[in-house]
Structure 1
């Protein structure tokens, strides 16, 4: 199999595999749609071309994977993320943390129980 991908045939084999994968996914979308939704919601059945269009529409609307909230951004930016912070000394890190706390308006330092007690004490006076 490695020989196929290293030879000139890869320009023929890879597009054929991609098209076959697209048709397989479209067929699965069509079968699942036609099995589930007409009986459940009363919608009409769809063809293979409509399922292909539906698949592409879902990919456009919901993304092509990778770079979601778990990864924290695009996959090509992962190796650069945090590179500047690794070289900081401890004092520089503490200064950075203090600046970030000031920029974030101290939301980490907020204590809702303490704030509520202070509000009730001020209201009683």
Structure 2
């Protein structure tokens, strides 16, 4: 039961964030773009959400917070933390000459 509450709470938070971001996009567009671009029109709320989704697809993707790249950095950090100071110094100085 607790798991369902957490999932429901996360869904509600995500929907609230999307709604707020849609309102921010709509407000900024209607404030800035019609005064800067000739023949630009104000947009309504559904178009602002669509613009937000389009920008997310084009520039951010849908992999979450960094995707696989973040996990790779975490592994490197854990490996660095498990090294002795001598191993760290050797890694900083590069490989030893033969």
TM-score by length of 1: 0.53
For structure 1, list consecutive stretches of 5 or more residues without a partner in the other structure: 1-5, 68-72, 99-125
**Aligned length in residues:** 87
What is aligned with 1:25?
21
Q: Match of 1:96, SS?
A: coil
The alpha-carbon distance between structure 1 residues 32 and 75, as it changes in their structure 2 partners (threshold 3 A), is: same
Q: Match of 1:79, SS?
A: helix
The structure having more radius of gyration, on CA atoms, is 1
Give the counterpart of 1:75 among 29, 53, 70: 70
Q: CA deviation at 1:95?
A: 5.9
Deviation by residue 1:61-120 (Cα, 9 ceiling, x = unmatched): 2226854xxxxx821112322738x4648678756276xxxxxxxxxxxxxxxxxxxxxx
TM-score by length of 2: 0.64
Runs of 4+ in structure 1 off by over 3 angstroms are: 64-67, 86-95
Q: With a CA cutoff of 8 Å and minimum separation of 6, indicate the structure with the bigger relative contact order.
A: 2
Deviation by residue 1:22-81 (Cα, 9 ceiling, x = unmatched): 0110011001000110011131111111111111121222226854xxxxx821112322
CA RMSD of aligned residues (A): 3.2
For structure 2, list consecutive stretches of 5 or more residues without a partner in the other structure: none
User: Could you tell me how far apart the structure 1 residues matched to 2:90 and 2:16 are?
Assistant: 57
Q: CA deviation at 1:13?
A: 2.4
